[in-house]
């Protein structure tokens, strides 16, 4: 004779089945992913006869995430639900800056952190801020980067460091939405990228000219 399962056991089994069947009927929530979009800088002639390598940028812990963070008030941080950056801010800043440096045509070659090639100059950096800031006057995309240009032909640190500089900008958002944040952050990256490229080029040029005079 078959032994029947205790009533409690049957209830638990039926509850588990109902949860499984219920979840099968509801498709998972779609997570929208965003990247930066802006045009390449204009290509310029007479590149320096030196190569440059862009190392992957570090990221400050408060923004070291693919979540689209916004600051609704002092000391408070929130994130948009079902909307994320495609990759973390460190990868976004590094990849777009390397892309822009190549597009500028100001160096003989520009290598990314993934390349095994060696270069005369190395650009290191970090992302210090990458978020939406909500204020009484409106919403802004806040971006802050710090970069360090190194000369690999030098051995000791004081001579190796060509320059170190921080960059910051805030771009107004047309709409307080994830897309509005992505659009404004793109403009912020475009602006800082242009400033960094100019400074890196001038610093590298000055270092090369100093060597020629010796």
3-class state of residue 49 by DSSP: strand
| Residue 167: pLDDT over 50 | yes
Q: Which residues pair with 141 in a beta bridge?
A: 132, 171
Across the range 33-57, mean pLDDT stands at 93
The answer to whether 189 and 127 are in contact (CB under 8 A) is no
| Residue 76: pLDDT over 70 | yes
The answer to whether 124 and 62 are in contact (CB under 8 A) is no
Q: Which position has the higher pLDDT, 180 or 46?
A: 180
In the chain, the domains with their CATH numbers are 49-213 (3.40.50.10610)
Chain segment 121-143, per-residue pLDDT in tens: 999 999 999 999 999 889 999 99
The pLDDT of residue 10 is 42
**Cα(159)–Cα(208) distance, rounded to whole angstroms?**
13
Sign, CA dihedral 74-79-81-85, equals positive
| Residue 6: pLDDT over 60 | no
Q: Up-side HSE of residue 149: CA atoms within 13 Å toward CB?
A: 20
Q: Up-side HSE of residue 205: CA atoms within 13 Å toward CB?
A: 11
Q: Which position has the higher pLDDT, 70 or 5?
A: 70
Across the chain, what does the average pLDDT equal? 89
The residue among 137, 144, 129, 132 whose CA lies nearest residue 71 is: 132
Across the range 98-116, mean pLDDT stands at 96
User: Which tokens is 5 given?
Assistant: 């399962």
The pLDDT of residue 61 is 97
User: Which tokens is 35 given?
Assistant: 């990247």
Q: What is the pTM of this model?
A: 0.85
The answer to whether 147 and 124 are in contact (CB under 8 A) is yes
**Cα(8)–Cα(97) distance, rounded to whole angstroms?**
62
The pLDDT of residue 28 is 77
The pLDDT of residue 36 is 98
The pLDDT of residue 44 is 72
């Amino acid at each position: 004779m078959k032994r029947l399962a205790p009533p409690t056991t049957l209830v638990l089994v039926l509850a588990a089945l109902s949860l499984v069947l219920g979840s099968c009927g509801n498709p998972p929530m779609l997570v929208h992913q965003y990247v930066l979009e802006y045009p390449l800088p204009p290509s310029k002639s007479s590149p320096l006869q030196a190569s440059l390598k862009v190392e992957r940028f570090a990221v400050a812990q408060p923004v070291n995430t693919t979540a689209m963070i916004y600051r609704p008030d002092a000391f408070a941080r929130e994130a948009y639900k079902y909307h994320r950056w495609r990759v973390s801010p460190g990868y976004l800043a590094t990849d777009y800056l390397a892309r822009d440096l190549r597009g500028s045509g100001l160096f003989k070659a520009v290598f990314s952190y993934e390349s095994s090639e060696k270069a005369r100059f190395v650009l290191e950096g970090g992302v210090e801020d990458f978020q939406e800031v909500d204020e009484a006057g409106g919403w802004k995309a806040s971006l802050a980067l710090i970069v360090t240009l190194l000369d690999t032909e030098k051995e000791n640190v004081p001579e190796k460091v060509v320059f170190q500089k921080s960059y910051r900008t805030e771009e107004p958002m047309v709409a307080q939405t994830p897309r509005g944040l992505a659009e404004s952050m793109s403009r912020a990256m475009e602006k800082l990228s242009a400033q960094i490229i100019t400074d890196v080029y001038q610093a590298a040029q000055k270092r090369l000219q100093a060597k020629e005079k010796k």
